[in-house]
Structure 1
C-alpha cells in the first residue's frame, strides 16, 4: 500500500471518527436537548493542558461577513510577517479548510493526527458521565487551539460558530473582539429580535478588551455599547475609525478603495465582489490598526497587500463566464438576500434573464431569498444539496406554492438543477446559485471539476428526479 493511500485512509478514518460525535451543524436538533454551555469545552481543554491559554487571539462574531472579515484580518497579519492561525466554519469543499496557518489549510495527515491525539481526552469527558459527550464543533475548536499552540503561532483569528455567548470558541481571552453586522438569523436558538441576537453576540466582549464593530442596526449597537461600557471595554466603530476617501469600481475585478485612518491613507484592492466587502475590509483595517496598542505593529502597505490576496469562495463568487455567467452566494436570510440583490444589480447591470438555482437547509425559509429577488423577475429552479439538513423537493415546492412564487423546476440534486438552468439559458442570461453555502459550494464543484468530500450522512440522489 502506498504511503499516500495509507495517509488518505487514515484521514478518512479520522473524519468518520470526528463525525461520529454529536453534530449540530449537520444534523437536526429536533431530538436533542438544548445543551449549549462551555463546561464541556472547558473540561476537554483542561484534559489537553489548556492549549488555548497564554495565546493571542482575535475573536470574530456576527451574522454576516464574519468569515470574510476573519480571512482579511488573518491574511493581513500573515503579510505583515506574523505566523497567523485561522479557524472558521463551515467548510466549503473540505473539512481541513477550517484550520489554517498563514492561509494554508491543515494537511490530511495533520488533521488525522489531531483527531487521534485529542481522542483520549474526548473519551475521558464522555466517561465522566456528568456533562454529556463532546460535539463535533467542540472537538474542532480544541483541535484548532491545540494545532496553533503546537505550531507556535504569533496570533490566531477565531471565528465564532454560532451566536457568541455560549459558543465553544468563547473560551478564549482575546486581544481584540470583533462583531460584524447583525441580522435576524438562527432565531430558534438566538432569539426572535435583533436585541436578543445582539445580546448573544455581545457575549464575546470581555472586560477591558477593545471591541471593533461593523456598521450595525440601532438595536444592535445599543446592546454592544452598553455591554462594552459595563465591562470597561473600548468600543471602536469601524465606520467612524476608518473613512472611505475614494472608490474605483473595477466591475468583476473588485474595487480599489482609499481608506483613511487617522492621518494614514491605505489603498486597498478588494478582489472579493460586493459593496459589503468594503465594509468588511474597513472592519479588518480598524482591527489591525487597533493591534498596535497591543504591541502587534503592522505596515499599511502590507495590510493592504494581505487583503488584496484574500480568496473566500461561495461568497459573491463568479464561478464561470462561458458559455453563461454563473454567480454564487450563500445568502440565506433577508439581510444577506438584500446584499445579493444589490450585488446582482451592480455587477451585472446588462444581464438578460436571471435564472436562480435555490436550495436551503432546515431552519431557514427558502422563500425569503426568493421574495427579495422577485423584483428582478427571476426564473426559479429549486434543488436539494447533499447536506443532511437540506430541505427536500416537496418541502421547497410547498414553501414556494404557499408564497405564490412559481418554479420552473425542482430537483433532488444540484447537478440536475444547474444542468437544467444551463439548458434553458440564452446568451446574456445570468445564472445565480444561492439559498445556502452548500448549494453554492456544489455548483462551484460541478463547474470547476472539484472532487467533493463526501461524508457518511450526506444525502445522495438515488435517481434523477424533477417536478415541473
Structure 2
C-alpha cells in the first residue's frame, strides 16, 4: 500500500487499533529496528507528567532552536491540524514529508507482517515511528519527545535521552496506569535512564520518594524544583533562579511558571550556548497552542484544554482571580471525555459560574447522559458546541469571562471554527 496524500495517512492511522493485548514495547522496538533505529541517530529530551508536559516541550524546543540547533518536536494532541504533532524548528511537518515518512514506515510494517502475520501496530506506535524517521531524515540535532500516556510502557520510551523530565504527578488515566497516584508515579519514573539527569517539576511529596529511589538506582542526577532551582512571581514578572543564575520572564500564571522553570533547567543541562537575554526572549516568545489561549479580550474569551483535576484546578484558580479583579462573571462551555473524573472536575467550579455542557462528534466525548446525574441537573446542555458558544457570548457583558475547556478537541473545534483571530 502506498499513501498519496495526508488524508489517506490520517484516515489509516485512525483505523488502526489503539491498544495491544499486551502492553509492552516489543512491537515498536521491532518496527524501529526494521527502520534502522532512527531514534538512536538524534539526541533527545524525554518529557512526561500528568500536566505541563506539552507546555514544557514547547518552551524547551524553542530554547534549543534559539541555540542554533535543528530541533524536532513530537507532541500530542494537536489543536489546528494533525501535522502539529511532528515539528522541525517550530514548523509543522509538511504534507509532502508526512506522506513520505508514512510510506517509509508502511513499507517496514508490511515487511514485518510478511515475516509474522501476528505482528500489528497501534496508532500511537505508527506516529512515534513516523516522528523518529522524520527527525533522522532531517538530521535533527535534538528532538523533544513528549510521552503519550505514562512513561515506562509508553511507546516513546525507546530512547536514551540527554535529559528526562517529569513535570507533575496527579490523577489522570487511572484505569490505564493507576489506580493510585503511587502507581502513576512508578509508571512515570520509567523514563529515568542510567546516568542521565532527570529534572522534576512540582511533584507532590507523597510520591517524591518513588522518583528519588528510581533516580538513585539508575545513578541519574536529580534536579528538583523548589530545591535546586526556583520560580516565583516578583513585581508582576516570573523570576527563575538556581545556584548560578537569575532570569526574569514576562508574567504567566504560576503553574505555567513551573513549566518554564523546568524547561530552563533542562536546557541549561544541555550546555548549549545562549546568554541570559536570549533565554528570556526564547521563553517570552513561546506560543503554546490550546493552553490559556486568549481568543479575544472584550469580553475575555480563554480557550484551555485542561482535562483532569489538577489542570482544571490550576486553570480555574487563575480565571477566578481574574474575574474577582474585574468584578465579573465566569461563563464556561465544557465537554470532557467520558472516562475522566467528571464529578471531581465539575466540583471545582464556583456556584455562580454559568456552566453550559456540550459535546462533539467523537466516540470518547461525553454525551448528555454520560455526565453524572447531579451534573446534568445542575447545568444546561447544548448538543451543538457552536450554538452553545454563541448562546453564552450573547449573555455576557464586556467585562465578563468566557472559558472554553475540558478537552483539547473542544478547543480545537472552536479554534478551527473561529479561525486564529476572529471570535465574532
Give the TM-score category using the shorter length.
over 0.9
Q: Is the 8 A contact 1:76 1:304 kept in 2?
A: no
Partner of 1:277: 256
Partner of 2:234: 247
Partner of 1:80: 67
Question: Distance in 2 between the 1:387 and 1:62 partners?
Answer: 25
Partner of 1:152: 139
Identify the match of residue 247 of structure 2 among 245, 266, 270. 266
* Cα drift, residue 372 of structure 1: 0.3
* Cα drift, residue 414 of structure 1: 1.4
* Cα drift, residue 419 of structure 1: 1.4
Question: Distance in 2 between the 1:65 and 1:131 partners?
Answer: 37
Cα distance 1:227–1:48, how it changes in 2: closer, same or farther (>3 A)?
A: same
* Cα drift, residue 402 of structure 1: 2.9
Identify the match of residue 303 of structure 2 among 323, 328, 351. 328
* Cα drift, residue 34 of structure 1: 4.5
Partner of 1:35: 22
Equivalent residue of 1:174, what SS?
Answer: coil
Question: Distance in 1 between the 2:99 and 2:355 partners?
Answer: 41
Cα distance 1:419–1:290, how it changes in 2: closer, same or farther (>3 A)?
A: same
**Structure 2, gaps ≥5 residues long:** none
Equivalent residue of 1:224, what SS?
Answer: helix
Alignment of 1:20-99 (within 5 A): 20-23=15-18, 34-99=21-86
Q: Is the 8 A contact 2:43 2:161 kept in 1?
A: yes
Identify the match of residue 437 of structure 1 among 389, 398, 408. 408
Partner of 1:202: 189
Identify the match of residue 224 of structure 2 among 225, 237, 249. 237
Q: Is the 8 A contact 2:177 2:184 kept in 1?
A: yes
Question: Distance in 2 between the 1:84 and 1:343 partners?
Answer: 32
Question: Distance in 1 between the 2:125 and 2:145 partners?
Answer: 13
Equivalent residue of 1:342, what SS?
Answer: helix
Identify the match of residue 345 of structure 1 among 296, 299, 320. 320
| TM norm structure 1 | 0.85
Superimposed CA distance per residue, residues 339-367 of structure 1 (whole angstroms, 9 cap, x where no aligned partner): 01111023332142221111011211333
| TM norm structure 2 | 0.93
Partner of 1:15: 10
- Greater Cα offset, 353-362 or 12-21: 12-21
* Cα drift, residue 51 of structure 1: 0.7
- Greater Cα offset, 59-68 or 305-314: 305-314
Identify the match of residue 193 of structure 1 among 180, 187, 194. 180
Question: Distance in 2 between the 1:82 and 1:424 partners?
Answer: 49
* Cα drift, residue 202 of structure 1: 0.3
Question: Distance in 2 between the 1:404 and 1:173 partners?
Answer: 47
Question: Distance in 2 between the 1:239 and 1:128 partners?
Answer: 52
Question: Distance in 1 between the 2:39 and 2:232 partners?
Answer: 39
1:417 maps onto 2:396 in alignment: no
1:314 maps onto 2:290 in alignment: yes
Q: Is the 8 A contact 1:77 1:303 kept in 2?
A: no
Equivalent residue of 2:149, what SS?
Answer: coil
Equivalent residue of 2:239, what SS?
Answer: strand
Q: Is the 8 A contact 1:337 1:373 kept in 2?
A: no
Question: Distance in 1 between the 2:217 and 2:411 partners?
Answer: 41
* Cα drift, residue 412 of structure 1: 2.0
Alignment of 1:158-169 (within 5 A): 158-169=145-156
Q: Is the 8 A contact 1:40 1:125 kept in 2?
A: no
Superimposed CA distance per residue, residues 213-252 of structure 1 (whole angstroms, 9 cap, x where no aligned partner): 0021112211100001111111110322223465243xxx
Cα distance 1:430–1:384, how it changes in 2: closer, same or farther (>3 A)?
A: same
Question: Distance in 1 between the 2:365 and 2:113 partners?
Answer: 30
